[in-house]
Amino acid sequence: MKRAASIEQTPAEVGPRRFRRRLERRFAECGVDIDGPNAWDIQVQNEDFFARVVAEGALGLGESYMDGWWEVRDLDGCLYRLLAGRLDERMKSWRDVLAWLGAAVINRQRGARVFEVAQRHYDLGNDLYEAMLDRRMIYSCAFWDESAATLDEAQEAKLKLTLDKLDLRPSQRLLDVGCGWGGALRFATERYGVTGVGVTIAKEQAAYARRICAHLPVAIRLQDYREMREKFDHVFSIGMFEHVGVRNYRKYMRAVRRCLHPDGRFLLHTIGGFKSTNHTNPWIQKYIFPNSMIPSRAQIERAIEGIFTVHGWQSIGAHYERTLLAWRANFERSWSRIAAHYDERFRRMWTFYLSGCAAAFRARQLDVWQVLLEPTKP
């Protein structure tokens, strides 16, 4: 027999209280209290928050923050505890199931979908990225070695770490797949004396990169990497592989190999995950990086089999949390200057994005790999 609702509870109140109790229990298991005293405890502003998160999981958590339904003083500390407690795995929503099924049926990185991430993320506005990034506009994990005290210095250290692995020589020809705003290619030509070609599918990035590389032996092309047919001494790609998709990994490797001289090297810099999957977090998919996914080591190794041989595999993911927090500090410091072009919901979305990614790296759910590859000998 079902227990009747108490006199103090109307039927309409029973459901919401059930959602609240469920979420309070799950959050407490991760060390986060609802309306608790700690900096990382969530302060709920709208009681519909509980039903929304129970029903929609990660998407509901992120969207409710964007809508101002909850506040927290230490956002990355809160999200770190939820991720470290595996809340994302224990509260899968129907949207996660649909995302998996959709990726299993549809190649999300083909056709017009290829350009969606450029339009919705990388072409948001160069003012945003100039406010957030280092002076070279490097939008990937920095390397905070003993010489690096600032973001500028840490990104320069990362570029040196990356390009030194290619053993570059003056006058060699270098291809940057997914060249961003051109900072890495500019550094390569100025530091090592090479010539270069950079390809990107983002119009704003291409325009910026052409401007800063105008005086250098560099060509910036608004072009899909799959269209490249030229030969280069070496190839590198920083932070682009996350947009390729598991169905296209082997095609990507063949395209790079087609452009590389037999004795050349390919340096792949990518975020990596410890479990193989075919889709990304639903909130990230909807608001930040559409059609993206994080590769696993097993997926990369299957993609290169018979095409490339691994010459070196370095993990630098421990440096990404500090990088993301530096970006967030720059973004917050510059908000008053760029606010006219973005609204408050965007500010909260971007803060949640940077804080959530920092939390994921702190929780060791993600890594960053630099994989040095050489063509497999016949």
Catalytically active residues, by annotation: 357
> Is residue 217 a contact partner of residue 172, using CB atoms and an 8 Å limit?
no
Q: How far apart are the first and last CA of the chain?
A: 73
The position carrying tokens 């037999």 is 262
- Cα–Cα distance measured from residue 81 to residue 348, given in angstroms and rounded to the nearest whole number: 20
- Cα–Cα distance measured from residue 360 to residue 342, given in angstroms and rounded to the nearest whole number: 26
For helices 183-192 and 151-164, give the axis angle rounded to 10 degrees.
60
- Cα–Cα distance measured from residue 27 to residue 283, given in angstroms and rounded to the nearest whole number: 19
Q: Which three-class secondary structure state does DSSP give residue 54?
A: helix
The residues facing 313 across adjacent strands are 371
- Cα–Cα distance measured from residue 332 to residue 339, given in angstroms and rounded to the nearest whole number: 10
Single-letter residue type at 229: R
Tokens standing for residue 286:
């909807």
- Neighbour count for residue 125 (Cβ, 10 Å): 13
Q: How far is CA 265 from CA 162, 225, 236, in A?
A: 12, 17, 8
Tokens standing for residue 343:
């609204």
